[in-house]
Amino acid sequence: MNIHKLVTLLAVVLFGLGCPIDVDDHHSGGDDDTGGDDDTGDDDTGDDDDTGDDDDTRDDDTAVTAPIDYPTIQDALDVSADGDEIWVEAGTSLENIDFAGKAIRLIGVDGMEATVIDGGQAGSVVTFDDGEGPDAVLQGFTLTNGSGTGVTGEDGGHHPCGGGIFVAGSSPTLSNLTVVGNEAWDGGGMFVTDASAPTLSQVTIADNTAADDGGGMYVWASALEIRHSRITGNEAHGEDGGGIVTKNGSTLTLAHAVVCGNSTPDDGGGIRVKDTTATLEHVVLCGNHAGDGGASRSRTARRRPTTTTTRPRATTTARGTTTAPRPSTPTAMAGTPARTATIQIRP
């Protein structure tokens, strides 16, 4: 057996015994100890590939960590920081979301038709009640099957309010949403209170139910701005506002909107404005029903000359329908966030 075969066989045996061996050094006769130094060159600094494990520092607060797979949207929100952006892929998530005061952009990247948050009748589907401002963004979801958050009402009772969205003392930005099939005591689709000032654009509030007031939306002592949106098919079974009710010094701005097919047994089938400043521009009111004021019923309301609206007890003929466009995928947005996480919702 020649020397090369002998060395190779010895290497195999020693390797099997777990002993380190450098075949090349032995084959060259162990010529130079610097060859042994190759062992130091070998991977002591290579063990600084444990600093290669420092590549894990890419997961710190300043790094882009997309995609990250969290089991729930709330899990992602819990570990996020102001300025972060969370992308949610198509699917249905059974949970209730709380922004917890964070300036986060939560985006359903596949659009509201494909990305659903189901509240499971376990409370409001989405909550903003910790001073969130306009940098708290919710975009591209369907919110359904919510049952509201407990609030002490006008009657002194404690009732669930805001089946789909609950906003208290906060001013989030809401866009490209469908709020459908939710229920509560007040504000079946959305409840806004405590000097909040949310803005809505390209939002559909549809087929929600309130046991008392505001089938679609209830606004108390707050400012609400709605543009390019639809409020349709909502019901209030108590007194006011099949579609929208605003009370107690609130401010309502409604522009380029459709309010149709809402109902209540008492005042304001479409809109009930009470002790509120309301500005309506280019609004279609149609097919709303109420015991008093089918399209709208107002007290202390302001109308601009360009408004398409009605006086109390009047109805308006529909001039057409509009469809809120699907949200665009946010591929190039100003103000790149510190981190972007992608949530993959699994069945």
Full-prediction pTM beyond 0.85?
no
Q: What angle do CA 300, 308, 221 make, to 5 degrees?
A: 35
pLDDT of the residue at 342: 60
pLDDT (tens digit per residue) in 229-252: 999 999 999 888 999 999 999 999
Please tell me the distance from the alpha carbon of residue 196 to that of residue 208, in angstroms, as a whole number: 21
pLDDT (tens digit per residue) in 275-314: 889 999 999 999 999 876 555 444 444 433 333 333 232 2
Residues of the chain with pLDDT under 50: 1-67, 296-339, 345-347
- The CA–CA distances, whole Å, from 281 to 227, 257, 294, 309 equal 9, 8, 19, 8
Q: In what order do the strands lie in the sheet with 235-236?
A: 183-184, 209-210, 235-236, 263-267, 289-292
